Structures are given as structure tokens and as C-alpha cells.
Structure 1
């Protein structure tokens, strides 16, 4: 209903479902239903046609990032992981291209990683060390603090952080937030 098949090539597209049910279909015969908390990664490679649509009665919310693959090309790849992050303190690695990491989802971008925070109560942790960080709050509130000050983010808020200064994320209660760490240094 309303989903339009569209082409992708040379993009890595990780998607975290926040609410609802996401249906993925592509021209390679892959189909998947993903619920809130699930994660998928489509690496389009030399090209794929796909659709993504709301497959449930509730509104669908998801967060998607488009990443340039390294190297370009190759066959399209698809991965889906069900509920890779249980609630608990700290940040959990969801996806990474670091060859030394063991994430639930492997990226074709060696200098990119996705983390999830799902504390079920008060929590504080350091954000990953990277030149570029992006924090997106799905539920609850998250306070970001560094040596220069702090900011309180609520549901739907995001912050882009550049530079390598240490940053702490803290919550006063249950929350869910995602952190991208990207480091383009050679």
C-alpha cells in the first residue's frame, strides 16, 4: 500500500525499526518483516530494486542511514537481525565495518559503527571515540555533556558532534537512543 519499488546502487543502508512493522522486499527474492527493535542492512552493491513499507496496523517509525561502501560494487547483500539489543545499561554495538569487531550486522564501511543505548533506568556512559558522531533519541531523554556544556535531547531530537572531545550520555530513566560513530581519518 503506497510502497514504490525503487533502485539503489553503491549504498549501504542500515535501518533500525523504532515502532511498527517494516516489510522489506527486493528483486533478489528476499523478503523480511521487522518489528520494533529489529535491524536490517541492505548493501546495494552493483544494484538492487526494493520496497519498504508499513506492514502493520500501527504507525511505522524507523531510522535509516545511507553510507558509501568501501569498496564500491560487488553483489547486493541483505541482513536482518531480530532484537539485537536487550534493555540494559551502556551502549551496545549493533553494526560495524571494523574487521576486529563482532557486531550483529557487518557493514561494508570500515570506519563506521552503530550503537544502541536502551537503559531501563538511570545510566551514564561515554560516547564512542570518533571524529564524527550522531546521536538520535527514540524514547525518553538523553543528556549529552562535554567540557564545554550540556544539552538535553528528547524523543525525535538529534545531535551531530564533531571533534574528538569526550562526550558523556546520561539518562534519568528508561530511554532508547542510537549513536553513529564515523571516523574518516586514514
Structure 2
């Protein structure tokens, strides 16, 4: 996939009013602060396209980005730790669950996993949930550049052992762009 245009489209706080134009949606999901927004910026080669923060829980809405005028990248709120109240965290969980279960336009879910913490319970639960829903998913190991070589091998083995149904696993660094071409190649298979 060659990204020639990437624009913020709209944010939604509920499933009401989501786009109904039939474009496929590639959805990015992961724990709070795993690097979803940074990955989107890197992937689209557009610094600041998706707002980033070092504070977990920055993304609080379903954010749509129109890619090449023919598909959407969708940035979902993170799950797990975030500096928000219990009620708001529960609300995000329901929103995420309802979206994944009910949204027909989803072509692929890209689960971002922090390479420094592969195989966390919440990530395994998300994989099981995606399997249960029958959603095709791939895994991106983020923050790959922060690992030493021995840690990289261990992280890869760990995620491979618990992600047997993943369509792909890509190692990714938003800082260097390592893994970008490989991920775009994988996403292209689901962009039609």
C-alpha cells in the first residue's frame, strides 16, 4: 500500500453517526500508551495527524482517518491503565466492545502490543475476543527499537506462542520507521 493522502475525518463518542459510505475500516487497538497514535503518524508519514501524549488514555474517542480516499484507519481508545476514572474506563470498554462486535465495515483489526511487555493478560484477552468475534487481526510489536537483540528474540517468541490466529506479526519502530513497509504490505491485503 502506498499512502498518498491521509486526513483526519471525524471523531465519535458513540456508534451513532459512524460513516456509512461502505469504505473498509482498518482498526488500530491496544493498551493505553502502546503507541497507536505514534504508529498512525509514522505509517501515514504525517507528524501530528493523530494526537500523541506520554499520558496514557489520550485517545478517548473513535477517531477516523481517511486514507487514499478509499478506506479508513480507525484509532480506538486504549484499554488497560489510563489516568481516568473507573466509570470512564468502563465506558471506553463498552464502546470498544460494541464497535468491534457490531461494525460490519471492519476489514482488519491491528492489535498493537508493546514489545517490552508481550503476552500481557489484557492483550491475550483481546486476541481471544477478536477470535470469538471472528475478526481477522494482525499484531504489531511496537517500541521495537527499545529492545536489545536478545530481548527482541524473546519478545517475538512470546507473542508467536500466544497469537497463533494472527494473520501477521510485524516488528515496528515509530521512531525509525523500521517495519513500516512490511506493515503497509500486510494492510494492503485488507484495504479493498
Give TM-score, length-normalised by structure 1. 0.29
Bigger strand share: 1
Greater fraction helix: 2
Q: TM-score scaled by structure 2?
A: 0.28
The structure showing larger relative contact order (alpha-carbon pairs under 8 Å, at least 6 residues apart) is 2
Larger radius of gyration: 1
